[in-house]
Amino acid sequence: MILVTGGAGFIGSNFVLDWLAQTDEAVINLDILTYAGNRENLAALTGDERHIFVHGDIGDSTLVTSLLTKYQPRAILNFAAESHVDRSIHGPEDFIQTNIVGTFRLLEEVRAYWNNLQNDARRNFRFLHVSTDEVYGSLTKDEPAFTETNRYEPNSPYSASKAASDHLVRAYHHTYGLPVLTTNYSNNYGPFHFPEKLIPLMIVNALAGKSLPVYGDGQQIRDWLYVTDHCSAIRRVLEAGRIGEVYNIGGWNEKPNLDIVHTVCSLLDDLRTRADKKSYKEQITYVTDRPGHDRRYAIDASKIELELGWKPAETFDTGIRKTVQWYLENQDWVANVQSGNYREWVEKNYAGRAV
């Protein structure tokens, strides 16, 4: 079996669901269930004996050790992270604790576990660390896309904390020989995405008749990757990636944020027309940009394609239509995640930003 950390969050839950759809190999799912971790994401696995959910923290060394001892996983996939740039600006300490200290404590327990494995179990063990393209910093419009050899230049507390975790994983390989793999992925989108991020926020606000807040001029460029494509890439890296290597995972879909918002509005115009027959684009408002907002991310995913034969199955057009349709069909899930804490966060983040 495998151990997945952060497996109730957006990407982690999609990975667990995808993994158990592709294989019968069991999953131990360790998640602390912060605001972004949601057991409802995993409702389809209720009663499935292959899925063992454990409510807990990767920084809880005693708990992690007990899970490793009891279940003897052949691999650990670390999705657990605080991951929202805006939240890291308002409160960076949680990011330091989870992404740096938590990763360190997890690595320590995994190192001790791996050192006690024997023969094939030791040789075949892997620790796969899931990171982000934001560790590389920001690109100008004409610079080439990030490759695995780009130097780290993080610009937010979030990306700095993830960069630190990446360096720890690298150090544990080079110092202790721990068989690690690291992936750096571009912006994900798809089902179960918590509605503080761009695409789900636009969908949720549009349907509620609220403004669609666009930071600055909306020309910040991101590379967009459908979440199930990301899941298939991680499976492939775990299966055949070279120990100690980094693999960038991208969708080859560079688009400005404003284009994304326009696309979402057009799809909603088609799939859920406003009562007054007007376009959802009329709800777009421009708000003050966030501090230190990176202008452009772009992933060169050539290495994973050349070495491991992986490339995304979804185009942006197919992926975004699936995403919008999912939110339209899962309004109960949307309503359930919009708790009082969520509403307070949105009000705090966007208060006073309108321009």
For the entire predicted model, the pTM comes to 0.94
Q: What is the pLDDT of residue 345?
A: 46
Residue 191 φ then ψ, to 5°: -60, 150
291 is written with which tokens? 């501090």
Q: Kindly list the domain boundaries of the chain, sorted by start residue.
A: 2-189+226-252+293-313
Radius of gyration of the chain (CA): 20
First CA to last CA distance, the chain: 52
Identify the pLDDT of residue 37: 87
Catalytic residue among 31, 82, 109, 134: 134
If you ran DSSP here, which 8-state letter would residue 299 be given?
B
Sequential DSSP letters for 300-338: --HHHHHHH----S--HHHHHHHHHHHHHH-HHHHHHH-
Digit-coded pLDDT (tens) for 213-258: 999 999 999 999 999 999 999 999 999 999 999 999 999 999 999 9
Instruction: Please state, in angstroms and rounded to a whole number, the distance separating the CA atoms of residues 132 and 100.
Output: 14
Q: What is the CATH number that goes with domain 2-189+226-252+293-313? A: 3.40.50.720
Beta strands in the chain, from DSSP E residues, in sequence order = 2-5, 27-31, 51-55, 75-78, 126-132, 180-185, 187-189, 212-215, 221-226, 246-249, 254-256, 284-287
**Catalytic hit among 136, 158, 172, 280:** 158
pLDDT of the residue at 288: 93
Q: Active-site residue among 31, 86, 109, 133?
A: 133
- 133 among known catalytic residues: yes
Cross-strand partners of 296: 221
The parts of the chain modelled with pLDDT lower than 70 are 339-355
Supply the pLDDT for residue 84.
73
What share of the chain has pLDDT > 90, as a percent?
87
Cα–Cα distance for residue pair 132/158, rounded to 1 Å = 10
Task: Output the pLDDT for position 83.
Answer: 79
DSSP state of 151: P
Residue 134 annotated to the active site: yes
Tell me if residue 350 is catalytic.
no
Is 255 buried (19+), middle (13-18) or exposed (0-12) by CB count in 10 A?
middle
